[in-house]
A and B are shown apart, each in its own frame.
Chain A
């Protein structure tokens, strides 16, 4: 899963991701998926200084918000869930139930986030995953997410 991925065709392109996740601008927090099977996934999110939230987070120093890093993990999980043989009813929306994420390093413009998701437990309509986010192979955040599908 390491090494130069820049010239490889992604497992899922940005356009293909949009067919899976319900989020839209400005809340799309995954750019591509580079590796995926039924139990795990590796996704990429490029952080640029042009993103809307940097205007206020913060005015003087630009730091990628931890909640959006968690959102990246959650969206990657939706894609993994979709790939694990679960029926995704279009009337159901994926929502987080519980997150337990530690943030080890700040993420700033120019960083490339690599998000690795591993399925810990999956039942009908719900899952618990382990998520690890790295920048240049250094762990910037890791934790567990529990999410479920809800009719809203």
Chain B
């Protein structure tokens, strides 16, 4: 089961001939993901590692069955690539690219309205269902198949949490990076809904960070709907106001979006907050043991 992607997911790479696209397409293929096609305008008719390349998404979906697309194209072309995937009827587009202009994403979100496609990212590590499908840039070897769902705004902090879980023998159903930008596709609530309905997922780790109000909105939803235990962490408790902390979306502005506010909201919604980023796995283990 798991969510979003599984062993049957047939994946397209947009931007397959760039250095990043090549490196990660190869790594995902080695992991066992069904990398079935690539798109780079002007390179149609050629191939990479035996994967056929097309000029347009339209050509690719006309030639073969494709479920999902992973996007590595440069920031100035990323929004167009996402909309091309959506137009091609791709079920899930995952945009890894960092640095996409916010205005471009505002237009993408508007374009997505009423369409059946889902978007993950941009500026995210992607999504992985361990042992089945890796779509993105996360190191595959730290993951292990199991029953913990992971959803996060971060990249490497997610790897840290996954590594802790795996080290404690807690495998993952699916790990989803929603990205560090202020305007993005699937959010915490969308992913939590999927985990809530997925029988393979028994509990969820949710990792937030400063900026915006996505964690507060998730807290409201969790309190009203979540049937499974959630362990949380919010990065940036020591971050100063008004400074962008690496991620475009990680900024406390007008006194809003602090880690303290977010942690309080999640705690009030019944989320068990990890006392430190080094204890995300241990907190999950405690929660599962006390539930038994």
Whether chain B is bound by chain A comes out as no
* Chain A contacts to B: CB under 8 angstroms: none
